[in-house]
């Protein structure tokens, strides 16, 4: 496969891209950008590009990266900052390329695990709803349960009604609970694990910067890749990376986040929480003491602290 030749045929006057746009205008800058990206991928080098609006940046990096990924049996990660760009890529640009390029490829959108419903946690919440939730929250839980029977992907974006955040936090996929060992397998009904297995087969994976740095755990000896084996990454809207990466490199905790999670364990005023299902009177008292300490020690002036080095 001559990738550079295919790039030329895609962007040229009367080429594959021109068939989809009336009044198509050939842009030499777009081709130059695409070929330079291919050169850097071939030499395993890094590249930073600043390009003006209207040059067609998404096609300029998608075309060479897809050809390169397919030829070398690698996976390309496209990371963006905004949801709008993600939607443009997955709903417009990728479908157009599927119909235009002279090769077949698969693409998928990677979402954070807390976007997915966990069937096991949902069943557990239904069994203990009287001790975990208020009346309105119980009604919301029932709606989620009924929705779970008809949803296709089990994600928040598929829900057509308002969801109470406290309820969703109790039924969504969570690290350490929903794992490949406990919820995986070819016949799994776990939405998150099913999505992961499908993405393993994809040539192109699209996600946002926040999720990338949440999943990225730095260089690992013996591993060639960032999120998947032998992958490579293209950051679009890269001017936002420094800010996003800093948030994840320097973990932070707030008074409200501590209070929220402690109250999930045990809320003495409402007599609700996970600990009510256990012989845990001594732990309930510890939670009460921690709530009191949290209120006194972490003043509003210390709303955000970074306790980790």
Q: Could you state, in order of their start, the residue ranges of all structural domains in the chain?
A: 3-106+202-247, 114-183, 252-305
Specify the higher pLDDT residue, 263 or 172: 172
Average pLDDT (126-148) is 91
> For 51-55, 84-88, 284-288, 294-298, which range has the lowest pLDDT when averaged over its residues?
294-298
State the pLDDT at residue 186. 78
What is the per-residue pLDDT for 276?
75
What average pLDDT does this structure show over 179-204? 87
Report pLDDT digits (tens) over 40-98. 999 999 999 988 777 889 999 999 999 999 999 999 999 999 989 999 999 999 999 99
CATH fold of 3-106+202-247 reads: Rossmann fold (3.40.50)
Give the range among 69-83, 119-133, 219-233, 274-288 with minimum mean pLDDT.
274-288
Query: CA 165 to CA 133: how far, in whole Å?
Result: 12
Higher-pLDDT residue of 256, 227: 227
């Amino acid at each position: 496969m001559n990738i550079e030749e295919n790039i030329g045929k895609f962007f040229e006057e009367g080429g594959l891209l021109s068939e989809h746009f009336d009044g198509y205008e050939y842009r030499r800058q777009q081709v130059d950008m695409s070929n330079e990206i291919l050169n850097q991928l071939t030499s395993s080098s890094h590249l930073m590009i600043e390009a003006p609006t209207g040059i067609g940046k998404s096609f300029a990096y998608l075309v060479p990266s897809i050809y390169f990924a397919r030829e070398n049996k690698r996976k390309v990660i496209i990371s963006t900052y905004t949801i709008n760009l993600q939607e443009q890529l997955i709903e417009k640009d990728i479908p157009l390329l599927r119909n235009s390029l002279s090769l077949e490829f698969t693409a998928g959108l990677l979402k954070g695990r807390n976007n997915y419903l966990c069937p096991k946690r949902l069943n557990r919440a239904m069994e203990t709803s009287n001790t975990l939730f208020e009346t309105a929250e119980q009604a919301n839980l029932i709606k989620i349960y009924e929705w779970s029977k008809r949803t296709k992907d089990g994600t928040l974006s598929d829900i057509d009604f308002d969801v109470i955040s406290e309820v969703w936090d109790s039924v969504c996929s969570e690290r350490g609970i929903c794992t490949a060992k406990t919820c995986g397998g070819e016949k799994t009904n776990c939405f998150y694990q099913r999505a992961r297995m499908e993405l393993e087969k994809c040539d192109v994976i699209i996600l946002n910067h926040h999720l990338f740095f949440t999943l990225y755990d730095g260089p690992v000896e013996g591993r060639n890749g960032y999120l998947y084996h032998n992958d490579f990454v293209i950051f679009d809207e890269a001017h936002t990376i420094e800010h996003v990466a800093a948030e994840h490199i320097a973990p932070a905790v707030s008074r409200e986040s501590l209070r929220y999670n402690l109250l999930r364990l045990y809320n003495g005023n409402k007599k609700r929480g996970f600990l009510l299902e256990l012989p845990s009177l001594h732990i309930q008292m510890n939670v009460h003491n921690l709530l009191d300490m949290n209120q006194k020690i972490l003043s509003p002036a210390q709303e955000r602290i970074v306790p980790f080095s």
